Amino acid sequence: MEMAGERKGILEEGGINVKEAMQRFMNNEQLWIKFLKKFKADSSYENLVKAIEEKEWNKAFEAAHTLKGITGNLALSKLHDLVSRQTDYLRGEDNDFEAAVGMMPEITEVYENVLKLIEEVYGE
């Protein structure tokens, strides 16, 4: 069973790769929706913000890496791509903390848009 076209279009315009999500969730849209709703309660983003504010770079890396994994699994592609780049900036010896910090406004905007999309499309 395929997702309704209008819903799919709204999600894809918001940077969510529905086709990839359905592949990852074996075409079980209800299971994916369940995890999307859980994403709203996940604390990784808040942990990332706090760690960056406190200049706790190891914690920032851990939070970004966790958020990268979650967004990848849920096919939140636009957010995943941003957080992936940020994770690279926070990783190891070649880190660039200024670049990682500089990405936060865009990451925040996309993160908030994803939450709004989930609410708009699935009503929670």
Q: For residues 72 and 17, give the distance between their C-alpha atoms in angstroms, rounded to a whole number.
A: 10
pLDDT of residue 2: 54
Give the start-to-end residue ranges of the domains of the chain: 5-119
Q: What is the mean pLDDT of each run of 10 residues along the chain (124 residues)?
A: 74 94 94 93 97 95 97 97 96 87 97 94 80
**What pLDDT is attached to residue 123?**
80
**Is the alpha carbon torsion for 28, 33, 34, 36 positive or negative?**
positive
The answer to whether 64 touches 47, Cβ cutoff 8 Å, is no
Predicted pLDDT at 105: 98
CB-based contacts of 72, cutoff 8 Å, min separation 6: 80, 84
- What's the confidence (pLDDT) of residue 7? 86
Confidence (pLDDT) at 95: 86
pLDDT, residue 1, reads: 43
CATH code that applies to domain 5-119: 1.20.120
Q: Would you list the DSSP string of 11-23?
A: HHHTT--HHHHHH
Between CA 78 and CA 31 the distance in angstroms is 21
